[in-house]
Amino acid sequence: MSRETALVTADWVAENINNPAVVIVEVDEDTALYAQGHIENAITFNWREDLQDGLRRDIISKEGFEALLSKSGIANDTTVILYGGNNNWFAAYAYWYFKLYGHQDVRLLDGGRKRWELDARPFVTDLPARTATRYVAKDQDLTLRAFRDEVIAAIGVKNIVDVRSPAEFSGELAAPAHLPQEGGQVKGHVPSAKNIPWSKAANEDGTFKSDAELKEIYTTAGVDLAKDTIAYCRIGERSAFSWFVLHELLGVSNVKNYDGSWTEYGSLVGVPVEIGALA
Amino acid sequence: MKTCGARPGGPSTDGIDLSKQTVIQGQILRDGSSDSVPNGTPVSNGHVRLLDATGEFTAEVPTNTEGQFRFFASPGTWTLVVQAPGARVEKRLVAAQGNATDLVITI
């Protein structure tokens, strides 16, 4: 993977808005944003209703993913462009689903909704009509997904990257500062984790930093990119962003997203927890 | 600068337990002197970044249709960075538990 296959520019999207081989999908944390205005012809996924199982605590199943993409008019050979607010957090989270279920061509709009807005590019409120398809997903690629036992076994062995803000890592906050403070039962971080906030990878306008800058951020923080890496945050969406940076932009092959993240780990009985800033 | 319409500032804090939360919120308004937009027009396409005392990014939210934003932070010194098409403004503040920090920022 590389920047050329994983990212598109706003100009590219503007030129491909009516391209029948392309489907643009907006995914936001604030699910009301799409209705207020979105890129022409873009559809939306609601991360809570469309991407979560709904009954048990899990991401949607393969069958659920197939149903979502089929009704959205996305075919197996469609080029899917994802974008959203919050520097593409939830767009990156959806991107991780597409890779998990084996979709071939999926890309993020560099800078997401923010760069589009700061450029004063147009938003519309019209809803595009799409013809349903019969999408066939692959089984989950578990080389991209970490579960709790694997995280516990990775303490002191693999790279564990906590991509939350320093205040969440140290245990001062339980959730990002724009959200009510709720999350795991306890605050803190997984022992031996390095705190490399997702935001380090983004420029102020929401676009990604250069490959050289990105590599520098991780290696300076003590991450050995030759070793296996597990990224986590609070609910798995910011760590999908950092997974995207490592796996899709920098082409590091051994990176997993722990989507259970701190809401799961911080509620487990008997697992080790550390608080305080990184020494 | 005068504004008209609803009370300027962030969204209603009804339902938020201010004794437990450290709220930083406000409203972004256009300063009409620099463009053709009337004074006090809410900036609905803005983005507000919250940086901690060391300048480290902590959170970011888009403004709503009334130009409003809100963060749940912790007591201490913070910096807001407001971005909108053609504008960028920084504002330092000290937040405390108990009373929401409620600002009106013109750009």
| Contact in structure between A75 and A47 (CB atoms under 8 Å) | no
Architecture of the domain spanning A148-265: 3-Layer(aba) Sandwich (3.40)
Q: What is the mean pLDDT of each run of 10 residues along chain A (279 residues)?
A: 91 97 94 92 95 93 98 98 92 98 98 93 95 98 98 97 92 77 84 94 94 96 95 95 97 96 96 87
Question: Residue A179 phi/psi, 5° resolution?
Answer: -120, 155
> Given A92, A233, A246, A255, which residue is catalytic?
A233
| Contact in structure between A102 and A138 (CB atoms under 8 Å) | yes
Enter the DSSP assignment of A60: P
Question: Residue A225 phi/psi, 5° resolution?
Answer: -70, -10
Note whether B57 contacts A199, CB cutoff 8 Å: yes
Q: What is the pLDDT of residue B5?
A: 46
Kindly identify which residue of chain B lies nearest to residue A164, measuring between CA atoms.
B58
Known active-site residue A145: no
Instruction: Find how far residue A227's CA is from the centre of its chain.
Output: 21
* ipTM for this prediction: 0.74
Neighboring chain B residues of A217 at a CB cutoff of 8 Å: none
CA distance B3 to chain A (A): 24
pLDDT < 70: residue spans in chain B: 1-8, 33-36
Q: What is the pLDDT of residue B35?
A: 60
Note whether A114 contacts B62, CB cutoff 8 Å: yes
Neighboring chain B residues of A87 at a CB cutoff of 8 Å: 60
Name A227's bridge partners.
none
Q: What's the length of chain A? A: 279
Supply B32's token pair: 């009409």
Query: Does residue A117 belong to the interface with chain B, where contact is any CB pair within 8 Å?
Result: yes
Q: How far apart are CA A258 and CA A148, in angstroms?
A: 8
Instruction: Give residue B60's identity as a one-letter amino acid code.
Output: E
Other C-beta atoms closer than 10 Å to the C-beta of A134 total 9
* Contact partners, residue B88, CB within 8 Å, separation at least 6: B81, B82, B107
Please identify, in words, the CATH class of the domain defined by B22-106: mainly beta
Neighboring chain A residues of B20 at a CB cutoff of 8 Å: 181
Kindly identify which residue of chain A lies nearest to residue B70, measuring between CA atoms.
A178
Task: Compute the Cα dihedral for B37, B39, B41, B45 and give only its sign.
Answer: positive
CA distance A142 to chain B (A): 30
Supply A138's token pair: 């692959």
Each domain of chain A, given as residue ranges in start order, spans 3-118, 148-265
Q: How far apart are CA B89 and CA B83, in angstroms?
A: 7
Model's pTM, two decimal places? Answer: 0.89
CA distance A154 to chain B (A): 27
The three-point CA angle B79-B82-B85 to 5° equals 160
Please identify, in words, the CATH class of the domain defined by A3-118: alpha beta
Q: What is the pLDDT of residue A173?
A: 81
Q: Which candidate, A150, A174, A168, A145, places its Cα nearest to that of A247?
A: A145
Kindly identify which residue of chain A lies nearest to residue B71, measuring between CA atoms.
A178
Each domain of chain B, given as residue ranges in start order, spans 22-106
| Contact in structure between A130 and A72 (CB atoms under 8 Å) | yes
Q: Which of B20, B74, B85 faces A118 most closely, judged by CB atoms? A: B85
Instruction: Give residue A236's identity as a one-letter amino acid code.
Output: G
